[in-house]
Structure formats: structure tokens, C-alpha cells
Amino acid sequence: MNKEKLKKEVKELSLLENNWDGYGAEPIRKEIINKVNNVIDYLDDKIIDPHIIPEPCDGVGLLWSSNKNSLLISIGESSITYSYISREEEENNSYGTVFDYNEIEEVLKKYGE
């Protein structure tokens, strides 16, 4: 995992202005940016780099996606959630809330590739 590259991408999100999505989204607050950087610092260096994506409801997503599945960890002010979508086995789709950083690693081990 290239943590410096990811943090640079996160910093770029902090520069987004009002209405960055064309639908009235507000800038991503500094507290969220700091939380995302803390999550990146916590993750194992062996994990494949996720895509960093802004989320319109004042959050940032870490997205891992392949032809078979997608895993999105959404980091917001009051919660961290995950969504796992399997393109091959819909019954394996899963959603939930993560209560601490250890659980993020558990989700990555369970659903990551």
C-alpha cells in the first residue's frame, strides 16, 4: 500500500468546494480528512491500494473493486460503514457498521481479494 500516495489523494479531496458534485454537496470537513488518514495509517502495508472517492454526505470512501466484487468502506463523521457487493453470488452481499479499526481489517480479510 502506498500510504503517501493515498494521503495525497485524500488531501486533494480537502480542496473540494461547495457543490463539488453539482448537487449541492458541501466540502469535506477537516475532521473527516483526519479520520481517513488515521484509517490509512492503521491499514497493513500489504493491502492493495483502494480508490479514494468523495461521498456527497460529507464522507470519504475507500473502494476496492474487481470484476467479481466491490468493497466500499465509507468513513463519515459519526460512523464507518462497509458495503460488499458480489457480482457472482448476490446472497453473499453484506453491509454493516465498523466500530473500531480492528474491525476494518476483519472486513478486509473477509471480503478483500
pLDDT tens digits along 33-74? 999 999 999 999 999 999 999 998 879 999 999 888 999 999
The answer, yes or no, to whether residue 91 has pLDDT greater than 90, is no
Kindly provide the b/e burial profile for residues 7-17, where b requires at least 16 CB atoms within 10 angstroms of the residue's own CB.
bebbeebbeee
Parse the chain into domains and list their residue ranges: 3-111
AA letter at 108 = L
pLDDT digits (tens, 9 = 90+) for 77-86: 889 999 999 9
Burial of 58 (0-12, 13-18, 19+ CB in 10 A): middle
pLDDT score, position 112 = 78
pLDDT score, position 8 = 97
CA–CA separation, 113 and 101 (whole Å) = 19
Kindly provide the b/e burial profile for residues 36-52, where b requires at least 16 CB atoms within 10 angstroms of the residue's own CB.
bbebbeebeeebeebeb
